[in-house]
Structure 1
């Protein structure tokens, strides 16, 4: 297939943003204070995470992205705003909530191995979430596709209303779900749970037929057009009323799977916003995921990397 042009695609992303901080260094000794390794930090990196990583993947592909989210009135929030503007060209509308701290995930890494992750987070206030909802209604007419990126951090309290408004406006809604209650995602166009997330909701399965039955039952219950289950080394499976499409993993070295789901939903949205059909969107998203798992940490994929992968 020929890759469509992405430069006119416009995607609206709403969800939980976070700042991913990486402390890189070496471990050469154990602490005398406790039986733990001592990491001597030699480099610090900061990257947009969560829904901000989804947004960055969209602009990396060459499409346009508006991001709506909530951060604290703090240094991490300032850093996130700056990174999105400088690195990605994302139109980042980050509401500031002085009652919370910006979500930060701090990872300590030695020789490409993660030693420890420390999370800082508090849910946003209702007043700020209401202001974000008003922005959503204002920005909706200018979007081709909507992504709701749920990391379970409280930023999508109005998700049912957002889905209803977007679908009423004729906009496809793609949801990256969290938790075990999917009722709030009812009426979305597409849900993209990973294998373990789907198992938490639908229960385990013994074979492909059982998986298909469970997926189609959930898809029908939630009134979805499609359900995409990303299955790690088993590829990804798209369940629609009329068919099931399975895309196998493209064999390559897996370096880091963190953020791969962000790349998948971003690529799906850009493909659909560019006029591609659902099946082609899934095939290209699968290739994009195969590229990004070869990178360390939350990372992005470019259109050129996908073209290169298609030619290999």
Structure 2
């Protein structure tokens, strides 16, 4: 299929941001202190994670992207701000001096993740209220809102955010977290993965049972659509017209981290350009297939997506 021109698509991304740090090294011995490998670190990389990765993916496809989130007054927060500016993203990162910016540190040895260390704290209510005020002012400047919930406390006002965006006539995509989806009621579409959906609706015994449970949830929440990403089973979209399924794109899976962010970004820019559900989830599925072949939180360029769609 022919991709639309995404340069006119305007996306507002709001949610939990984090800095993904990678320490790469060689493993040649076991520590004499404990039965663990010793990694001699040779290089490091820093990449935006969470909502920042959604923004980065949308910008890589050529969209106009604004990001609204909260960071600490620290070096990781400054690094995220710099990475966003380098990626051409208009970022408004509210500084909360009482918290530390969320950091996920991954230690990689022989191309395998050996350890992940997380640093995180919850933002203060004052900072979050200021963010909500700016959010309301920015709604007029976007076509689609993407709310990326990583459960880090940055979206305590998400119900109000959805209401404001829908009242302004904007499409709202939510990447959900936890087992209480009532807070996402009224969104255009939510995008849980298979495990996340199971937490909410329980285990299904077959496709017909999944369809019933997903459709019940969609109607209870007043959603236009529910998109379930299903790993090696591809993805399925449930909407008023029935279920649309996309099989997984056959390629070697290297790293699934951040693939959900890519799905949200691709879906958002397609919907911003007026695409229908079938085309939007096809592009999102292909984009996810490209990104899982890369190490860590990564992006898909417009050229890569064009090539993969041929």
* TM-score computed with the length of structure 2 as normaliser: 0.99
Runs of 5+ unmatched residues, structure 1 = none
Q: CA deviation at 1:32?
A: 1.2
Instruction: Report the equivalent of 1:292.
Output: 291
* Pairs within 5 Å for 1:1-312: 1-86=1-86, 88-311=87-310
Q: Which moves more between the two structures, 144-153 or 272-281?
A: 272-281
Q: Which moves more between the two structures, 28-37 or 99-108?
A: 28-37
Aligned mates of 1:278, 1:102 — CA distance in 2 = 36
Q: CA RMSD in A?
A: 0.6
Aligned mates of 2:204, 2:296 — CA distance in 1 = 31
Q: Which moves more between the two structures, 32-41 or 261-270?
A: 32-41
Q: CA deviation at 1:309?
A: 0.6
Aligned mates of 1:298, 1:11 — CA distance in 2 = 20
Aligned mates of 1:191, 1:246 — CA distance in 2 = 16
Aligned mates of 1:230, 1:305 — CA distance in 2 = 21
Q: CA deviation at 1:57?
A: 0.2
Q: CA deviation at 1:81?
A: 0.5
Aligned mates of 2:290, 2:82 — CA distance in 1 = 26
Aligned mates of 1:157, 1:228 — CA distance in 2 = 23
SS in structure 2 at match of 1:34 = coil
Q: Which moves more between the two structures, 31-40 or 189-198?
A: 31-40
Aligned mates of 1:296, 1:205 — CA distance in 2 = 32
Write the deviation string for residues 187-241 of structure 1: whole angstroms up to 9, x where unpaired.
Answer: 0000000000000111011110000000000000000000000000000000002
Q: CA deviation at 1:83?
A: 1.0
Q: CA deviation at 1:112?
A: 1.2
Aligned mates of 2:306, 2:36 — CA distance in 1 = 45
Aligned mates of 1:144, 1:192 — CA distance in 2 = 19
Q: CA deviation at 1:279?
A: 1.5
Aligned mates of 1:206, 1:115 — CA distance in 2 = 35
Aligned mates of 1:184, 1:112 — CA distance in 2 = 39
Q: Which moves more between the two structures, 274-283 or 213-222?
A: 274-283
Write the deviation string for residues 97-148 of structure 1: whole angstroms up to 9, x where unpaired.
Answer: 0000000000000111000000000000000001100110111001000000
Write the deviation string for residues 227-283 of structure 1: whole angstroms up to 9, x where unpaired.
Answer: 000000000000002211000011110000000000000000000111211221001
* TM-score computed with the length of structure 1 as normaliser: 0.99
Aligned mates of 2:13, 2:134 — CA distance in 1 = 12
Aligned mates of 1:232, 1:250 — CA distance in 2 = 10
Runs of 5+ unmatched residues, structure 2 = none
What number of residue pairs does the alignment pair up? 310
